[in-house]
Amino acid sequence: MKKRRGKMPVSERAKQFAPFAAINGLDAALARKEREHARKARIEIMEDEAVGINAKLSELYVGEFTEITYYCRGHYVTAEGEIQLIDPRRKLLVLDGKEIHFKDLYSIK
């Protein structure tokens, strides 16, 4: 004679439908690949665009609020905030704690 099981409590029953990862690390590997495919090559700006960026850069001053688009690790990022430092010798701009090299600038508004 078979022994009959009692009803499973509702709190235990939900566990049988929980997600299951068949391969450890698969989610992380897929996310890494997705980030790699989302990367973009740096866009080479034309000479007249570079002159325009240099002109706008020369008009900026510390404490000014601005919006800057720049290239960072395969992506174009737009940041806005207060300029904290402009260092022409090191060709560096600091916007709200983010260091942005002049060569990475794409646009200044």
Is the pLDDT assigned to residue 2 strictly greater than 70? no
pLDDT in tens, 79-105: 999 999 999 999 999 999 999 999 999
What is the pLDDT, as a whole number, of residue 51? 93
What is the pLDDT, as a whole number, of residue 93? 95
H or E stretch at 15: none
- Let me know the angle formed at the C-alpha of 90 by 88 and 93, rounded to the nearest 5 degrees: 65
Q: Whole-prediction pTM value?
A: 0.66
Dist. CA 14–CA 96, nearest whole Å: 47
pLDDT in tens, 12-50: 777 777 666 677 888 888 888 888 888 888 888 899 999
What does the pLDDT average to over 53-72? 94
